[in-house]
Structure 1
Amino acid sequence: MAEKKMEIGVIGLGKFGLRMASTLVSLGHTVLGIDMSEARVQRAEEALDTVYKADATNIAVLRSLHVQDLDWVVISVGQSVEQSLSITLNVQELGGPKIWVKASNEEHKKILQRLHVTRAMVPETEAAVMAAHQLTHPGMLDLIPKYGGIAIQELRVEQWDGKTLVELNLMQKYGVMVMGIRPAGKNEFVFVPPAMTELRKGDALVVAGKADSMSQLNP
């Protein structure tokens, strides 16, 4: 099934907001950019099709831009907690979009969570946690703290040469699921491989599970 293309508003086009907006465009989504700074709006026009210089703390302005019709709204307005909360409440009052907010600190994040936004995050905190886990777990591709510290990691087969997935029984022993295999010398992954798949030295496995469990594996 093809990925659903979404209409997404990004309010606040500083470094973080503009990077997110331009990445969303590259993924094929339609992005509406909003910022109060003329300079940031002009810079964003190089990457986005639709950008407005507007005050998002004014709910009438958001309504006139049809923000209520979007699938998502990303709010990334720098260090002003008051401005961030004002915009968040405006978007909630309009109804419709899911709301993703960049928080400036943990206290800001807690307030946003009490407002029941879809997602609130402190990028610096999440990046630091991710970097620490990648340092101590080489090959880790991603960490999902919201779901109990679930890690996604790439492993290179050495000791498991000649064994099948059913023999290894990783889910029962470690709570680790094999999501995909890239056979040695190949460029493409086989996703959700059959249990009788026999591993060979040099194969790359993408696995998911608790970070603690990953450290027990000796592939």
Structure 2
Amino acid sequence: MVIGLGRFGISLASELTANGVEVLGVDADSRVVKEHAPYLTDAVVADTTDPEALEQLGLDDIECVVVAVGTQLEASILTVSHLLDAGVPDIWAKASSEAHGRILSQLGVHHVVHPERDTGRRVAHLLGGKFREFAEVTPGYCVTSMSAPHAFTGFALDLDEMWRKHRVQIIAMKHGNGDVMPMVNGTVLAPSDIIIAGGSPGALESLNR
């Protein structure tokens, strides 16, 4: 179930549906529900701040609920509170600010997401033009794809030494238009190769330079 079919909610819900997940979309605005219903398994109009309305949605059959209501703080908190009271086993909730996120965590939400903050961080690392993609997997550890740095091309790489000296793991590589292949010791990179690397943001930026 995805509650709140704004830009974040419908983007997430439609992507899940496209990948074969059954998704029930919920929003208090009938116009929004009508507009997005074709892209979801099902969509209903409901005020999720009302516990009775939530119960009528069949929570017993729902494995996971995403609360994508971000800007309406009261609606977000009330909805989450009712879902927790109902014993929903897996709740994800969008936070519109750090304070909102702290409240959601204190309530007991299983996963708090910060789309705007995380997108801002990602774009900050992409602005230099060297990183092709950038994703924070866990605090302090990120994964990125980039062109192979010139200093690491033309000779057999020692991946253990790469980690000891640069605190970066080269996970995989792609040569030209070929498939992505796992990185192994002794691989010789060419300047045109794309690598996928993991490490702290600082270590990855340093590798880039």
Contact preservation (8 Å) 1:105, 1:122: yes
Match of 2:190 in 1: 200
Tell which deviates more after alignment, 132-141 or 86-95: 132-141
Match of 1:47 in 2: 39
List gaps (5 residues or longer) in structure 2.
none
Given residue 177 of structure 1, which amino acid in structure 2 is its aligned partner? Q
Match of 2:53 in 1: 61
Match of 1:154 in 2: 145
Take 1:68 and 1:33, find their aligned partners in 2: how far apart are those partners? 16
Match of 1:5 in 2: none
| Corresponding pairs, count | 208
Q: Over residues 54-105 of structure 1, what are the superposed CA-to-partner deviations in whole Å (9 max), with x where a residue is unaligned?
A: 1212223323322243232111224221111111011111223311111222
Matched residue SS, 2:144: strand
Tell which deviates more after alignment, 136-145 or 21-30: 136-145
Matched residue SS, 1:23: helix
Contact preservation (8 Å) 1:102, 1:122: yes
Query: 1:74-113 counterparts in 2 under 5 A?
Result: 74-113=66-105
Take 1:205 and 1:142, find their aligned partners in 2: how far apart are those partners? 12
2:170 to 175, 178, 181: 178
Take 1:210 and 1:171, find their aligned partners in 2: how far apart are those partners? 11
Take 1:80 and 1:182, find their aligned partners in 2: how far apart are those partners? 44
How far is 1:196 from its partner? 2.6
Are 2:206 and 1:213 aligned?
Answer: no
Matched residue SS, 2:123: helix
Are 2:203 and 1:187 aligned?
Answer: no
Matched residue SS, 1:101: strand
Structure 1 residues 216 and 79: alpha-carbon distance in aligned structure 2, compared to 1, 3 A threshold: closer
Are 2:7 and 1:15 aligned?
Answer: yes
Contact preservation (8 Å) 1:182, 1:188: yes
What TM-score, normalized by structure 1, do the two folds share?
Answer: 0.85
What TM-score, normalized by structure 2, do the two folds share?
Answer: 0.88
Given residue 204 of structure 2, which amino acid in structure 1 is its aligned partner? M
How far is 1:111 from its partner? 0.5
How far is 1:39 from its partner? 0.2
Take 2:155 and 2:146, find their aligned partners in 1: how far apart are those partners? 15
How far is 1:132 from its partner? 1.6
Contact preservation (8 Å) 2:65, 2:88: no
How far is 1:133 from its partner? 2.2
Take 2:156 and 2:87, find their aligned partners in 1: how far apart are those partners? 51
Take 1:73 and 1:110, find their aligned partners in 2: how far apart are those partners? 19
Given residue 206 of structure 1, which amino acid in structure 2 is its aligned partner? I
RMSD: 2.2
Take 1:120 and 1:94, find their aligned partners in 2: how far apart are those partners? 19
Matched residue SS, 1:217: helix
How far is 1:52 from its partner? 1.0
Q: Over residues 171-218 of structure 1, what are the superposed CA-to-partner deviations in whole Å (9 max), with x where a residue is unaligned?
A: 1112211121101x2331013x22232323311110010111123226
Matched residue SS, 1:84: helix
